[in-house]
């Protein structure tokens, strides 16, 4: 492939994937409002468009036209930089996530992924770990007690649960022997006894899946781990002092992180784009992997909302004790058992 | 060629971040400059081909240790540091000392690299299996000794930080 073709294809992929991600983020908010409404026996947004489907656009317009307040007591450079940091790192991590197989359009072929790095998994972990700075700096630079407490809680919680999140993934890495997300998905093709898919969740990593799921909720600051923005004690936590588009950027970052975490769970534990049905038509063969992938990610997004409106919030000491005394030992035990079994088989 | 330009670019960012770390008077700004240094170092490792080290540099140093630094600064609510006039001894002895030290390090590295042939950009490749073999086979003893060392440091910190009366009373029962 010539360098011009490479640049053009990469540009098209980047723009398309970021566009899809941001649309997904906007519609996750709609999903959240709609599902929460139905759980509480309400209707949710119904006025803007059919089923309130245009509500995200109305919200966006409202965010843009709201007054953008900057309180006089904030530390301005970091106050402005914090939402940018949060949203940039949240969007960047999508760049190594693969959505499907090799696709050929005319003379050009490409993987459905912005770039295939052979340490893809570590890149995602690294970028999400940098996302903490957006929240922590927002809390500090706002120069207000609620925001500071929210920022402190968020950073302590995120680095605590990142440990068990990372260790839960080690089992998967041992199983597939690679850090490339594409290799990990390829290792999950095929079936047991012709009907159970060979996904990691059915292949010895069930415990790791649940550890990952719980830590992911804490990483993205979602209920039952939404201590950083606990309304009843901290007003709104780290984004108390933010308004208009800056506030919206924190929301975008939170939902983009949720999408990334859901993508990662799909790739690592649910077999990525491998689906139950196989089609003979070439167009369907090219498209179906993407459909399976999106369905699995949607399932995770729905689960997020479902859990949020079902479970109450933890207390802070319970949260820390659970992370360090329950999840971490379980994750280490999972690594030891997986490593022993893999070594015994080899 | 392109790699070399990128390598020098990130090297310059690294040095600029380190200088900014010393110049800034607010602890938060200094901590943020240190994060920039870590990020630039990770990019340098990546350009050398040591992908795993680059990722670990970002995850462990920039993503975890620096967050703890930041939490400490936020908790102590450390304000702006006051600038002193600076001592004359530091100026007279420090600047030549730094230059001599830098020259010594550069000279040692350059003479060694001409002996070993050095490593070209992008030559350090390692699969997970290769890294695991190095860590858990070839260098198993140093690796384990280091982990024991860190454990001792953690225990020392816990003992130093806890107050004696709290230790005597035992763990709290009201949770």
Domain-located, residue A297: yes
Neighbour tally for B37: CB within 10 Å: 21
Is some CB atom of chain B closer than 8 A to the CB atom of A78?
A: yes
Whole-angstrom distance, CA of residue A82 vs CA of residue A206: 37
Average pLDDT over residues A85-114: 81
CATH, domain range B1-80: 1.20.120.1200
At A141, the pLDDT band (50, 70, 90 cuts) reads confident
Q: Which two tokens stand for residue A60?
A: 């966006």
Average pLDDT over residues B92-118: 81
Q: Which two tokens stand for residue A99?
A: 């959505």
Q: Quote the pLDDT of residue B175.
A: 46
Domain-located, residue A18: no
A117 contacts in chain B (CB < 8 Å) = 51
Nearest Cα to B55, choosing from B70, B66, B41, B65? B41
B174 or A197, which is more confident?
A197
Average pLDDT over residues A197-214: 82
Residue A101 DSSP class: S
Domain-located, residue A60: no
> For B127, which residue in chain A has the nearest alpha carbon?
A178
- What's the mean per-residue pLDDT of chain A? 83
Domain range for A180 is 69-345
User: B67-86: per-residue pLDDT in tens?
Assistant: 888 888 888 776 777 777 77
Cβ-proximal residues to B74 (8 Å cutoff; 6+ apart), any chain? A136, A139, A140, A148, A151, A152, B28
Domain-located, residue A123: yes
The chain B residues in contact with chain A (CB within 8 A) are 28, 35, 42, 51-52, 54-56, 58-59, 62-64, 67-68, 70-71, 74-75, 127-129, 175
Q: Quote the pLDDT of residue B51.
A: 80
Judge whether residue A83 has pLDDT over 80: yes
Residue B148, burial from CB neighbour count under 10 angstroms (0-12, 13-18, 19+): exposed
Domain-located, residue A14: no
Judge whether residue A335 has pLDDT over 80: yes
Q: Is A125 helix (H, G, I), strand (E, B) or coil?
A: helix
Domain-located, residue A28: no
Is some CB atom of chain B closer than 8 A to the CB atom of A150?
A: no
Q: In what helix (H) or strand (E) does residue A104 lie, and over which residues does it extend?
A: strand A102-105
Domain count, chain A: 1
8 A C-beta contact, residue B48 and residue B103: no
Domain-located, residue A24: no
Domain-located, residue A34: no
User: A290-299: per-residue pLDDT in tens?
Assistant: 888 888 889 8
Is some CB atom of chain B closer than 8 A to the CB atom of A147?
A: no
Angle between helices A244-269 and A55-65 (to 10 degrees): 140
- Give the global pTM: 0.83
For every residue of A171-196, which 3-state class applies, written as one string?
HHHHHHCCCCHHHHHHCCCCEECCCE
Q: Quote the pLDDT of residue A126.
A: 87
> For B29, which residue in chain A has the nearest alpha carbon?
A78
Residue A283 DSSP class: H
Sign of CA dihedral A170, A175, A176, A178: positive
Which A positions 83-142 lie with beta carbon below 8 A of chain B? 117-119, 122-123, 125-127, 129-130, 132-133, 136-137, 139-140
Q: Quote the pLDDT of residue A10.
A: 84
Q: Quote the pLDDT of residue A94.
A: 87
**Optimal mutation site among A79, A92, A126, A159, interface B, most CBs of chain B within 10 A:** A126
In this complex, the residue of A126, A151, A152 whose CB is nearest that of residue B59 is: A126
Average pLDDT over residues B80-107: 82
Count of helix runs (H) and strand runs (E) in chain B: 9, 0
Shortest CA gap B84–chain A (Å): 24
- What's the mean per-residue pLDDT of chain B? 81
Hey, where are the domains in chain B?
1-80, 127-175
Residue A47 DSSP class: S
ipTM value: 0.78
> For B35, which residue in chain A has the nearest alpha carbon?
A130
Place of tokens 């929240």: A135
Task: Supply the DSSP string of A237-268, one letter for each residue.
Answer: GGGTT--HHHHHHHHHHHHHHHHHHHHHHHHH
Average pLDDT over residues A201-211: 83
User: B109-155: per-residue pLDDT in tens?
Assistant: 887 776 666 666 555 566 777 777 888 888 889 989 999 999 999 99
Largest Cα span, chain B: 66
Residue B153, burial from CB neighbour count under 10 angstroms (0-12, 13-18, 19+): exposed
């Amino acid at each position: 492939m010539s360098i011009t073709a490479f640049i053009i294809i990469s540009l098209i992929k980047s723009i398309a994937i970021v566009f899809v991600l941001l649309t997904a983020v906007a519609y996750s908010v709609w999903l959240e409002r709609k599902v929460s409404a139905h759980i509480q026996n309400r209707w949710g947004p119904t006025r803007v468009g059919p089923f309130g489907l245009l509500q995200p656009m109305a919200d966006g317009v409202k965010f843009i036209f709201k007054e953008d307040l900057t309180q006089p007591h904030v530390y301005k450079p970091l106050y402005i930089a914090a939402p940018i940091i949060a949203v940039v790192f949240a969007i960047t991590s999508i760049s190594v996530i693969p959505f499907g197989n090799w696709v050929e359009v005319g003379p050009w072929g490409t993987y459905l992924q912005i770039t295939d790095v052979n340490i893809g998994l570590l890149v995602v972990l690294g970028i999400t770990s940098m996302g903490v700075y957006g929240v922590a700096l927002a809390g500090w630079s706002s120069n207000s007690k609620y925001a500071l407490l929210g920022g402190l809680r968020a950073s302590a919680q995120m680095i605590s649960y990142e440990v068990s999140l990372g260790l839960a993934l080690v089992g998967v890495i041992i199983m597939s022997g690679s850090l490339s997300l594409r290799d990990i998905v390829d290792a999950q093709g095929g079936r047991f006894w012709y009907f159970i898919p060979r996904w990691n969740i059915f292949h010895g990593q069930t415990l790791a899946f649940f550890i990952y799921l719980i830590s992911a909720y804490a990483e993205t600051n979602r209920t039952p781990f939404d201590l950083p923005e606990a309304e009843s004690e901290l007003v709104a936590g780290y984004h108390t002092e933010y308004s208009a588009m800056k506030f919206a950027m924190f929301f975008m970052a939170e939902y983009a992180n949720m999408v990334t975490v859901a993508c990662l769970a799909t790739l690592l534990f649910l077999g990525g784009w491998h689906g139950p049905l196989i089609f003979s038509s070439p167009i369907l063969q090219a498209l179906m992997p993407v459909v399976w992938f999106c369905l699995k990610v949607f399932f995770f997004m729905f689960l997020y909302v479902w859990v949020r409106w079902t479970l109450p919030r933890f207390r802070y000491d319970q949260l820390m004790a659970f992370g360090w005394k329950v999840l971490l030992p379980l994750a280490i035990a999972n690594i030891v058992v997986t490593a022993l079994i893999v070594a015994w088989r080899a | 060629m392109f790699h070399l330009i990128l390598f020098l670019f990130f090297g310059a960012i690294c040095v600029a971040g380190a200088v900014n770390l010393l110049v800034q008077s607010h602890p938060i700004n200094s901590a943020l400059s240190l994060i920039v240094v870590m990020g630039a170092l990770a990019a340098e490792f990546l350009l050398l081909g040591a992908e795993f080290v680059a990722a670990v540099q970002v995850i462990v140093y920039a993503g975890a240790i620096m967050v703890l630094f930041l939490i400490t600064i936020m908790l102590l609510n450390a304000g702006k540091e006051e600038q002193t006039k600076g001592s004359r001894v530091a100026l007279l002895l420090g600047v030549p000392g730094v230059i001599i030290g830098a020259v010594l390090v550069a000279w040692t590295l350059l003479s060694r690299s001409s002996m070993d042939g050095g490593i070209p950009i992008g030559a350090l490749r390692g699969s997970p299996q290769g890294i695991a073999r190095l860590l858990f086979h070839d260098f198993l003893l140093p690796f384990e000794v280091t982990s024991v060392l860190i454990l001792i440091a953690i225990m020392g910190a816990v003992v130093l930080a806890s107050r004696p009366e709290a230790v005597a009373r035992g763990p709290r029962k009201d949770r």
